Homo-oligomer: A and B are copies of this chain.
Amino acid sequence: MQIAALVFDAITPLDIVGPIEVLARLPGAEIVIVGKGRGPVRDPRTHWTLTAEASLAEVTKPGVLVVPGGAGVRPLCTDEVVLDWVRRVHGATTWTTSVCTGSLLLGAAGLLRGLIATTHWASRDLLEQYGARYVEKRVVEQGKIVTSAGVSSGIDMALTLAARIAGDDTAKDIQLGIEYDPQPPFDCGAPSKADPAVLERTRQSYARAATR
């Protein structure tokens, strides 16, 4: 099964590297890293340069589409070439998925109208502008569309998807293979769990970033 991972400048690299690390371990997985054009994309924040090995035009019928987020997703939400591609490949996929603000691109393409969905918690209002209803859940399945919460949630999403595609046993093997037995040092990874001071500080830092 072809699994297409979309990349673009100012991506959040963990959004896409997390799920692809999981999905590449599925039997028969054929990963393709796709960009608007072939060639490098760069995230200036983390210094990663990732390379798209295929252009949008070269990827027409992936079985799985994974759309990550990051600051760079916003310009794509008004880019008709990208939006048309998302709509067209969604017509062919078995699963259309997003991580973090990748759901904004699915929303801008019109795929989330009337659905419940998730995104990075700081972007819930943006998501709802596209006619979706935000829920603070880690992974949200609506038919073949699977959205997931901020950044690190793509790992949970991909393991859930691995179980749907190849069965629980295979997904468990993958979870043990990536030794995914998370032990976060704090219990503050979702807005409803964070102290008000942590939430307010982080919210303000996202608001400042959004105005830059």
Contacts and interface: CB of A to CB of B under 8 A. Distances in A.
4 smallest A-B Cβ distances: which pairs? Answer: A150-B179, A181-B189, A182-B182, A49-B51
A21 B46 contact: yes
A90 interface: no
Contacts of A67: none
A55 to B, nearest CB: 15
Between A17, A45, A51, A138, the greatest number of chain B beta carbons within 10 A of the residue's beta carbon is seen for A17
Interface stretch (A104-112, A125-133, A164-172): A164-172
A120 B180 CA distance: 11
8 contacts: A50-B50, A156-B184, A156-B185, A171-B185, A172-B188, A175-B184, A176-B199, A182-B189
Contacts of A139: 183
Given A31-B46, A188-B176, A18 B14 contact: yes
Interface string A155-169: 110011001000011
B53 A49 contact: yes
Nearest to A156: B183
Contacts of A14: 14, 17-18, 21, 178
Interface residues of A, number: 68
B179 A194 contact: no
A93 B204 CA distance: 33
A179 B120 contact: yes
A32 B12 contact: no
A168 B184 CA distance: 12
Contacts of A50: 48-50
Contacts of A188: 172, 175-176
A74 to B, nearest CB: 17
Contact of A12 (B21, B47, B205): B21
Between A182, A190, A206, the greatest number of chain B beta carbons within 10 A of the residue's beta carbon is seen for A182
Given A155-B152, A168-B186, A183-B138, A46 B20 contact: yes
Contacts of A185: 156, 159-160, 163, 171, 175
